[in-house]
């Protein structure tokens, strides 16, 4: 019989950065013993064992490797990981909403999702007026305009990666209000960026009246947001409705100055994105790998790959029609 440990060593040598051959059934059977660390007999010790599973993104296959902490009162908490292909804006937001409802109802565990946008889209915060947007210009440039269920400022989603986290509102990571939960959840992203060699700074808590100025998310860094080299790196927004926390955010590889034109704002000096902050810049797959590993390690999450359930897909399609692709929702402010 083939030694399972030999398969594991081969898994440890690959990642999303390199294509790999198909994974055999026998090799898959070797994964569970390494995926879930045993409970630590010494309550003061943190175990760090690899969480491994097959993953594909953008035509690349490989193994995502995350070293996760086993907390003192038991093993890691099961989370679902969704890596979705590029999609239209309304479907992206509707999918986040559908997954959040599924987590709220107990039909799905806490979920971490990554996705991209095609075609490019301008998303407004829930309370921003649609009148800010030059809709004729957006139409000419083929840019969708949508309204998020979360607050915050406008983001042009093009050359970037978006994440979403869905948790029951009673989850320990959601305790203490929005700013406290931002701090906890962002620990995972800080660790992920550090693994890529990027030093990240956290914002300082300040009164709501001193919130970011102007209509554009990345023009200013707010409380508990993440920045690098003095520039906002991760723009996040959160909402809590009907017993569920939904937080999503954007990591731009490059800032398109067209966003200022769309919002009828003068163009300032170019904003650096991840490609200017890291050289060489990671691929989308490598960024997903690093951030997912950081979340697993920092938050004690046993990430399990998954897909939208049939019920979530049906609910997403309904939400596209009645909300996120609906002019009445987009123009509600």
- CB-based burial, 78-109: b 16+ in 10 Å, e otherwise: ebbbbbbeebbbbbbbbbbbbbbbbbbeeebb
Question: What length is written for the chain?
Answer: 333
Cβ count near 330 (within 10 Å): 19
Choose the catalytic residue: 63, 64, 217, 298: 217
DSSP string, 51-91: EEEEEEETTEEEEEEEEEEE-TTSSPEEEEEEEPPPB-HHH
The question of whether 326 is a catalytic residue gets the answer no
For residues 207 and 179, give the distance between their C-alpha atoms in angstroms, rounded to a whole number: 11
| N-terminal to C-terminal alpha carbon distance within the chain | 65
Q: Which residues are catalytic?
A: 217
């Amino acid at each position: 019989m083939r030694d399972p440990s030999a398969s594991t060593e081969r898994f440890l040598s690959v990642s999303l950065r390199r294509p790999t051959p198909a994974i055999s059934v026998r090799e898959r059977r070797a994964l569970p013993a390494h995926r879930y660390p045993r409970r630590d007999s010494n309550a003061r010790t943190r175990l760090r064992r690899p969480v491994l599973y097959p993953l594909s993104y953008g035509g690349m296959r490989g193994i995502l490797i995350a070293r996760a902490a086993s907390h003192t009162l038991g093993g890691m908490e099961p989370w679902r990981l969704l890596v979705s292909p590029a999609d239209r804006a309304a479907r992206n937001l509707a999918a986040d909403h559908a997954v959040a409802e599924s987590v709220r109802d107990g039909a799905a565990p806490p979920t971490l999702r990554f996705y991209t946008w095609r075609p490019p889209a301008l998303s407004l915060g829930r309370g921003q007026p649609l009148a800010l947007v030059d809709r004729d210009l957006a139409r000419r440039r083929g840019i969708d305009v949508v309204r998020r269920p979360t607050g915050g400022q406008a983001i042009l989603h093009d050359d970037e990666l978006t994440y979403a986290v869905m948790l029951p509102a009673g989850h320990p990571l959601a305790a203490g209000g929005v700013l406290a939960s931002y701090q906890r959840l962002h620990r995972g992203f800080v660790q992920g960026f550090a693994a890529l060699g990027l030093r990240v700074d956290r914002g300082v808590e300040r009164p709501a009246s001193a919130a970011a100025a102007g209509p554009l998310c990345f023009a200013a860094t707010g409380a508990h947001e993440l920045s690098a080299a003095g520039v906002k790196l991760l723009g996040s927004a959160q909402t809590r409705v009907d017993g569920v926390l939904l937080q999503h955010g954007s990591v731009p590889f490059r800032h398109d100055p067209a966003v200022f034109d769309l919002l009828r704002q003068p163009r300032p000096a170019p904003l650096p994105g991840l490609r200017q902050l890291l050289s060489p810049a990671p691929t989308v797959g490598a960024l997903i790998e690093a951030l997912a590993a950081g979340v697993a390690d920092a938050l004690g999450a046993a990430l399990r790959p998954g897909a939208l359930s049939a019920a979530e897909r049906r609910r997403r399609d309904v939400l596209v029609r009645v909300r996120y692709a609906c002019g009445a929702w987009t123009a509600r402010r």
